[in-house]
């Protein structure tokens, strides 16, 4: 309907205790961005709600982010969002006071911080000067609200897809600590063109030394490049993108989700490494003329070591494993990695259960180790085994495990009247090695339940993924007994025939002694 909706679900007091007052789902906010106002009233048949030829249209179709920031001597809470396929705009709302009296139409001028699109955005610095609007496409992804080294809070977002320039880059919108005035900076990767379009959806901010200030931003693009943006300077003019990509996927597999930035020691005695964890794939949304389409070819999951931490280690107290470029053995001018520099984990499919398995975890001989004089590896990868199986939902780190939901698009059957549904698998793998955990889908609590303990789908000792038909990104919760669960929405109900556990999957994970996430959310 073209609106961002807000519903009340209770609150938390100053001590962090939940307050149930107002936990009734009542709608308290509905906001229609200006970009939508300009298009939603069209009388064109395909976009006119009253016309029998109306077709589906996108308006506000991105995931919003919220965060706390400090300016004008006090804390504020902002909401920021793009439009996804609905348009090339981003907006921010001040939702500090979510009371009915404040969320009133008469307060709209103070609630709406601003809205910017490709025609109105102007940058203090970018590759193209102040005229950076041509780099803003449809704003997919979720913005990041973070504090930067210039002392300002900022909203960081990808330039999106379908821009006039076809470039890939990120926008950084800083907020003046006194007046809340906004200033935009655009950091271009100088890849892509109108003829060969590129773009970035999800930026992932990394705080490497846990001081609640963003140091690097990592992002993947449509052409399969993995980038690092350096925001460690307190001078905005020194912010920069890496000279070339850190990594290039096989055959340009697109990266359309967030990058998980984690640290860990692959084995005892090794120094902490910065690991970049992500999958590949792309879904182009349905239109009035065509169904949803997906990236072609085999897609993969990757764990890539950012080995170039020399500059960071030269001034930071928190140190990470690093190598000199000349010692890497990489022959390219910008020393970027490819899958040939990673250790492959071989995935097979259990014919009886459909589980994805790694029968034998491959050992990674890490580059720079004395035991790996030649053919040192810089991480791991595995290929998704399903036909057109791919990653279009963002992964997350749970203890030392990478978990992510895949999608296997439905195949139409011309001889059947049944409407096929997409299926999907939930992957849980070792974030540092890409290998399998032992019976990761059968924790001790589930082992007492015959529905799990007698089902080979869950007892599989080498399974890394089971069919859940989960959609979107899972989140983690823990019950009173200490068992962790992945909670998710599914696109199919649980029936005896599909053998799908509904909405929650218990996990059997070892104690976390190797990894931690390097992104954070400030909570005042």
Across 82-96, 125-139, 196-210, least confident range: 125-139
Q: Is residue 142 part of a domain?
A: yes
Q: Is residue 524 part of a domain?
A: no
Q: Give the residue from 216, 114, 224 showing the smallest Cα distance to 170.
A: 216
Whether residue 45 is predicted with pLDDT greater than 90 in this model: the reply is no
Q: Are strands 260-264 and 401-405 parallel, antiparallel or unpaired?
A: unpaired
pLDDT in tens, 114-137: 999 999 999 996 544 568 999 999
Compute the average pLDDT of residues 191-217.
97
What pLDDT band is residue 521 in, cutting at 50, 70 and 90?
very low
Whether residue 57 is predicted with pLDDT greater than 50 in this model: the reply is yes
pLDDT in tens, 463-493: 999 999 999 999 898 888 888 999 999 887 5
Compute the average pLDDT of residues 364-379.
91
Across 64-68, 96-100, 113-117, 158-162, least confident range: 96-100
Instruction: Give the C-alpha separation, 167 to 159, whole Å.
Output: 8
Q: Is residue 5 part of a domain?
A: no
DSSP assignment letter at 328 = S
Question: pTM (2 decimals)?
Answer: 0.93
What pLDDT band is residue 76 in, cutting at 50, 70 and 90?
very high
Across 105-114, 210-219, 248-257, 312-321, least confident range: 105-114
Dihedral-angle region of residue 328 (phi above 0 means left; psi in -120 to 50 means alpha; beta otherwise): alpha
- Which helix (DSSP H) or strand (DSSP E) does residue 458 occupy? helix 456-459
Torsion on CA atoms 141, 303, 217, 232, rounded to nearest 10: 170
Cα dist from 428 to 258, 384, 500, whole Å: 17, 13, 16
Q: Give the residue from 445, 446, 462 showing the smallest Cα distance to 454.
A: 446
Higher pLDDT residue, 511 or 512? 511
Structural domain of 123: 65-240
Residue 81 is predicted with a pLDDT of 97
Residue 49 is predicted with a pLDDT of 62
Q: Is residue 372 part of a domain?
A: no
Across 5-9, 55-59, 227-231, 455-459, least confident range: 55-59
Opening angle at CA 238, ends 233 and 240, nearest 5: 100
Higher pLDDT residue, 282 or 266? 282
Q: Give the residue from 4, 157, 22 showing the smallest Cα distance to 90.
A: 157
Phi/psi of residue 465, nearest 5 degrees: -155, 140
Q: Is residue 382 part of a domain?
A: no
What pLDDT band is residue 14 in, cutting at 50, 70 and 90?
confident
Instruction: Give the C-alpha separation, 311 to 322, whole Å.
Output: 10
Q: How many CA atoms lie within 13 A of 520 on its CB side?
A: 20
Residue 524 is predicted with a pLDDT of 45
Instruction: Give the C-alpha separation, 122 to 294, whole Å.
Output: 34
Compute the average pLDDT of residues 82-94.
95
Instruction: Give the C-alpha separation, 151 to 91, whole Å.
Output: 22
Dihedral-angle region of residue 335 (phi above 0 means left; psi in -120 to 50 means alpha; beta otherwise): left
What pLDDT band is residue 313 in, cutting at 50, 70 and 90?
very high
Q: Is residue 99 part of a domain?
A: yes
- Chain-centroid distance, C-alpha 122: 26
Whether residue 501 is predicted with pLDDT greater than 90 in this model: the reply is no
Strands (E), 159-299: 169-175, 182-188, 204-206, 216-220, 225-230, 240-241, 247-248, 260-264, 273-279, 283-284, 293-294
- Each residue of 143-156: b (16+ CB within 10 Å) or e? bbbbbbbbebbbbb
Across 313-327, 336-350, 491-505, least confident range: 491-505
Whether residue 54 is predicted with pLDDT greater than 80 in this model: the reply is no
Compute the average pLDDT of residues 138-143.
96
Average pLDDT of the chain is: 90
Phi/psi of residue 177, nearest 5 degrees: -70, -15
Instruction: Give the C-alpha separation, 266 to 362, whole Å.
Output: 13
Instruction: Give the C-alpha separation, 423 to 490, whole Å.
Output: 9
pLDDT in tens, 391-446: 999 999 998 899 999 999 998 777 777 778 899 999 999 999 999 999 999 998 88
Instruction: Give the C-alpha separation, 277 to 261, whole Å.
Output: 6
Higher pLDDT residue, 260 or 512? 260
Q: How many domains does the chain have?
A: 1
Q: Is residue 56 part of a domain?
A: no
- Biggest CA-to-CA distance, the chain: 71
Whether residue 40 is predicted with pLDDT greater than 70 in this model: the reply is yes
Q: Is residue 136 part of a domain?
A: yes
Q: 3-state class of 298 per DSSP?
A: coil
Instruction: Give the C-alpha separation, 60 to 63, whole Å.
Output: 9
- Residue 305: beta bridge partners? 275
Residue 498 is predicted with a pLDDT of 52
DSSP assignment letter at 236 = G
Instruction: Give the C-alpha separation, 82 to 189, whole Å.
Output: 21
Q: Give the residue from 381, 171, 139, 141 showing the smallest Cα distance to 278.
A: 381
Higher pLDDT residue, 262 or 99? 262
């Amino acid at each position: 309907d073209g609106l961002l909706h807000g519903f009340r679900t209770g609150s938390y007091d100053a001590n962090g205790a939940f307050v149930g007052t107002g936990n009734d789902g009542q709608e308290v906010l509905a906001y229609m961005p200006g970009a939508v106002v300009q298009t939603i009233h069209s009388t064109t048949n395909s976009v006119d709600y009253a016309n029998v030829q109306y077709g589906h249209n996108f308006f506000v179709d991105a995931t919003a982010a919220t965060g706390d920031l400090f300016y004008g001597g006090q804390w504020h809470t902002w909401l920021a969002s793009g439009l996804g396929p609905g348009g090339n705009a981003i907006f921010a709302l001040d939702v500090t006071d979510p009371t009915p009296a404040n969320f009133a139409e008469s307060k709209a001028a103070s609630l709406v911080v601003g809205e910017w699109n490709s025609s109105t955005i102007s940058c203090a610095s970018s590759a193209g000067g102040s005229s950076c609007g041509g780099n803003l496409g449809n704003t997919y992804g979720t913005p990041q609200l973070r504090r930067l080294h210039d002392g300002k809070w900022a909203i960081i977002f990808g330039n999106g897809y379908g821009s006039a320039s076809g470039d890939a880059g990120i926008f950084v919108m800083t907020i003046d600590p006194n007046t809340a005035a906004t200033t935009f900076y655009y950091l271009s990767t100088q890849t892509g063109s109108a003829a060969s379009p590129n773009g970035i959806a999800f930026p992932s901010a990394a705080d490497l030394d846990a001081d609640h200030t963003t140091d690097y931003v990592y992002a993947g693009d449509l052409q399969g490049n993995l980038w690092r943006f350096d925001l460690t300077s307190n001078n905005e003019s020194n912010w920069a993108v890496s000279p070339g990509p850190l990594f290039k996927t096989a055959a340009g597999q697109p990266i359309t989700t967030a990058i998980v930035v984690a640290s860990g020691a692959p084995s005892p005695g090794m120094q902490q490494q910065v690991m970049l964890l992500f999958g590949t794939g792309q879904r182009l949304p349905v239109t009035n003329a065509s169904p949803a389409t997906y990236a072609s070819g085999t897609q993969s999951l990757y764990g890539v070591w950012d080995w170039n931490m020399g500059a960071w280690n030269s001034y930071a107290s928190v140190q990470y494993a690093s190598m000199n470029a000349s010692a890497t053995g990489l022959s390219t001018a910008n020393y970027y990695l490819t899958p040939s520099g990673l250790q492959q984990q071989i995935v097979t499919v259990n014919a009886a259960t459909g589980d994805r398995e790694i029968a034998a975890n491959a050992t990674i001989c890490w580059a720079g180790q004395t035991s790996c004089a030649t053919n040192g590896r810089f991480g791991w990868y595995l290929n998704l085994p399903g036909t057109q199986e791919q990653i279009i939902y963002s992964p997350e780190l749970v203890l030392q495990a990478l978990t992510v939901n895949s999608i296997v698009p439905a195949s139409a059957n011309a001889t059947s009247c049944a409407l096929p549904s997409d299926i999907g698998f939930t992957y849980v793998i070792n974030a540092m090695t890409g290998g399998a955990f032992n019976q990761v889908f059968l924790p001790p609590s589930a082992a007492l339940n015959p529905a799990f303990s007698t089902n080979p789908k869950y007892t599989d000792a080498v399974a890394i993924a089971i069919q859940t038909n989960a959609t979107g990104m899972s989140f983690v919760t823990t019950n009173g007994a200490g068992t962790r669960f992945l909670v998710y929405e599914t696109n199919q109900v649980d029936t005896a025939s599909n053998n799908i556990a509904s909405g929650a999957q218990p996990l059997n994970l070892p104690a976390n002694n190797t990894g931690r996430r390097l992104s954070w959310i400030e909570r005042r």
